[in-house]
Structure 1
Amino acid sequence: MTDDVTDEGTAGTAEEPTAAERPARGAVWAAAAWSVGVAALLIALPLVARHRLPDPLATHWNGREPDDSMSLTAAALFPAAFWAVLVLTSVALRRYWAGRSPGAAAATLAAGGVLLTGAQTSIVHANLDRARWQDAAPMGVEVVLILLATGLAGLLAWLAGRRYGGRPERRPVAGAAPLDLPPGERFVWLSRAANPWLQLTAAVFGLVTVAGVVAAASGVAELDWALVVPFAVVALASLGCSSVRARVTARGLTVGFGPFGRPARHWSPTELESARAERRTAAQAGGWGYRINGLGTTVMLRGGVCLVVRTRRGADFAVSVDDAERGAALLNALIARTRESTG
């Protein structure tokens, strides 16, 4: 058995949607915030600096020298219109190609946003304080840096999308049947959860960070580290705590955090005393995210049933993922089998 531990062959087994089947509101809202934010940056950047830009301004370079121009209004609206096409393309990819190419929509949004924002930033910087568009600064290493950043952003988004994207699967209702682990049989149990508000927070704070860096890179404003650094820290912390993935194999339990499943915590069967499913609320855990209190450590992304493991040291670790009852049952069977084999 190499897929989620289920009893799909049992006649009359009831099914319920998993977290992946329910609308990924956080991811959708984060993508919407990114889409709107990028559009706002593309339009606002040249308009904010219009008193320091020529009209028309250089928008194309033949090698290092400018050879074509656009009016200030066109330079603001054209990339925004192109961005709108990319956003619609990503929506179509998510709607019709999520199963065949998970991660394609996320990669399109990430790479397109970085490419267009980087290009708009370099255009404004090259035209800043120039009397004519023909006097715009030449393009050089910034083009290479933009292309590298675009490729990196697309790759990271594609990897994250492949890990958490794709067509959702359906599972039997958790706890629908007892678990049996015949000797030598392979098994995998996988579940995940995400907090839409933390994902949206990461997107909003990340956009503010990008806006500050873009404004400084274009020469429109000074880089305010006191603004950029705190927003960047909040964005990264929120992103890392916004999603979690729990995986049970013969090697034990692994819990990965964030869109890439890193960092991760792992417990082998010999390190665990027992596992259970327990209903917890954010108030009991002390809030949302990664929490440590009298209950032990809790990764609280949504209220409800959590997978809770107790280590041999007597510490509890809880994670709020779907199908917690089945994950606990599998872990207990694995722990029992390990004890029998070690005497």
Structure 2
Amino acid sequence: MTEEARGKGRPAGRGARWGAAAWSLGVLALLIALPLAARHRLPDPLATHWGGRDPDGSMSLTWAALFPALVWLVLVAVAALLQRYCAEQAPGCGAAALASGGVLLTGAQTAVVHANLDRARWQDAAPMGVEVVLVLAATAVAGALAWLAGRGTGRAADGRPEEHPTAGTPALDVPEGERFVWLSRAVNPWLQLLAAVLGLVAVAGVLVAASGLTGLDWSVALSFTLPALAVLVCSSVQARVTARGLTVGFGPFGRPARRWSPEELVSARAEARTAAQAGGWGYRVNRLGTTVMLRGGECLVVRTRRGTDFAVSVDDAERGAALLNAVIARGGRPTGRAADQPS
């Protein structure tokens, strides 16, 4: 048998929708803006199709800007339908479609602008070679990462869809030989939106440089890329209790993560905290100890044997604390085969 105590969790999808909206609008803007920004240095029409390495097809400048944008809008609609109707059967499919499609189209648009830049006729466009390989590789990587991130927000650690427990159902008395897991997530949609905006600015700068319009200033690119990654990691959190103790993972992939074995913990409790008490949003250290604050309210707080507190703002913290206290009292003895597997 398996005893599963899933955290109720606030809808992680709200933060994902904010990010998807920002990504969709950003990609749309880039697809239209890239050729229009370079219009004084491009032929009209310009080469848009290559047979092998040499150009063999063209479009007007206006249509070259609008056609990829229309394709992108169709892809966004398809991704939204996939997310709405196929998320449970294939979690992450909508995110993968958006990520890979956006990278493919913006990469292709960048390569087209670069190949036509400062050419008198579209027939004189530069040949395509390594650009195609780089765009396809980036598309595959983006799709795989988005798919993994989407699966992480839609499924529990054992790979099955999350099921919300009936309110008040105790999950403390776990008989020997049974497996159990408690999992709860929290997101801050405003932090996810900020990460998406910073990331889009960084991507836009790299694409503009790759198109040949400007040189690449690494100091400017890193000044947006590094904060985007830092904010993304701090914008979502998941807490997981098993027979091996507590694991708190950050970001869409649950990495990096902090882990405590039952032997390292003294007790666990649920406690209401505000951002003002924690010192702000994100990862905070003050007189209360360490707090991962993504939204005010219920937090899971653990006291370590070093005498410090660690708190994480997730829902259903009372249930998680109760189960973790049972694990601590048991001394970390495994309760089943699943508990012997690394978390």
Q: TM-score, normalised by structure 2?
A: 0.93
Residue identity matched to 1:112: G
| Shift, 1:169, TM fit | 2.8
Show the counterpart of 1:104: 93
Runs of at least 5 residues in structure 2 that lack an aligned partner in the other structure = 156-160, 335-343
Equivalent position to 2:8, from 15, 18, 29: 18
Q: Spell out, residue by residue over 1:285-343, the C-alpha distance to the aligned partner (whole angstroms, 9 max, x if none).
A: 011111111000001111111000011110100001111001000010111111899xx
| Shift, 1:222, TM fit | 1.9
Describe the shift of the 1:5–1:123 C-alpha distance in structure 2 as closer, same or farther (beyond 3 A).
Answer: same
What secondary structure is seen at the aligned counterpart in 1 of 2:90?
coil
TM-align CA RMSD: 1.7
Q: Distance in 2 between matches of 1:273 and 1:23?
A: 30
> 5 Å matches for 1:186-265?
186-265=179-258
Runs of at least 5 residues in structure 1 that lack an aligned partner in the other structure = 7-16
| Shift, 1:29, TM fit | 1.2
| Shift, 1:184, TM fit | 2.6
| Shift, 1:176, TM fit | 4.1
Show the counterpart of 2:136: 147
Q: Distance in 2 between matches of 1:191 and 1:204?
A: 27
Residue identity matched to 2:154: G
Q: Distance in 2 between matches of 1:145 and 1:124?
A: 16
| Shift, 1:172, TM fit | 2.1
Describe the shift of the 1:220–1:195 C-alpha distance in structure 2 as closer, same or farther (beyond 3 A).
Answer: same
Show the counterpart of 1:138: 127
Describe the shift of the 1:256–1:314 C-alpha distance in structure 2 as closer, same or farther (beyond 3 A).
Answer: same
Contact 2:187-2:237 within 8 A present in 1 as well: yes
Show the counterpart of 1:9: none
Q: Distance in 1 between matches of 2:234 and 2:116?
A: 41
Contact 2:3-2:174 within 8 A present in 1 as well: no
Show the counterpart of 1:14: none
Q: Distance in 2 between matches of 1:340 and 1:60?
A: 64
Q: Distance in 2 between matches of 1:153 and 1:136?
A: 28
Given the alignment of the two structures, is residue 159 of structure 1 paired with residue 153 of structure 2, yes or no? no
Show the counterpart of 1:295: 288
Describe the shift of the 1:178–1:121 C-alpha distance in structure 2 as closer, same or farther (beyond 3 A).
Answer: closer
What secondary structure is seen at the aligned counterpart in 1 of 2:36?
helix
Given the alignment of the two structures, is residue 121 of structure 1 paired with residue 115 of structure 2, yes or no? no
| Shift, 1:170, TM fit | 2.1
Show the counterpart of 1:2: 2
Contact 1:24-1:196 within 8 A present in 2 as well: no
What secondary structure is seen at the aligned counterpart in 2 of 1:290?
strand
Equivalent position to 2:39, from 50, 56, 73: 50
Q: Distance in 1 between matches of 2:33 and 2:189?
A: 28
Contact 1:29-1:200 within 8 A present in 2 as well: yes
What secondary structure is seen at the aligned counterpart in 2 of 1:24?
helix
Residue identity matched to 2:133: V
Contact 1:3-1:189 within 8 A present in 2 as well: no
Number of aligned positions between the proteins: 329
Equivalent position to 2:326, from 310, 315, 333: 333
Q: Distance in 2 between matches of 1:339 and 1:120?
A: 55
Residue identity matched to 1:4: E
| Shift, 1:223, TM fit | 1.6
Describe the shift of the 1:178–1:100 C-alpha distance in structure 2 as closer, same or farther (beyond 3 A).
Answer: closer
Q: Distance in 1 between matches of 2:134 and 2:92?
A: 23
What secondary structure is seen at the aligned counterpart in 1 of 2:170?
coil
Given the alignment of the two structures, is residue 89 of structure 1 paired with residue 78 of structure 2, yes or no? yes
Q: Distance in 2 between matches of 1:43 and 1:340?
A: 59
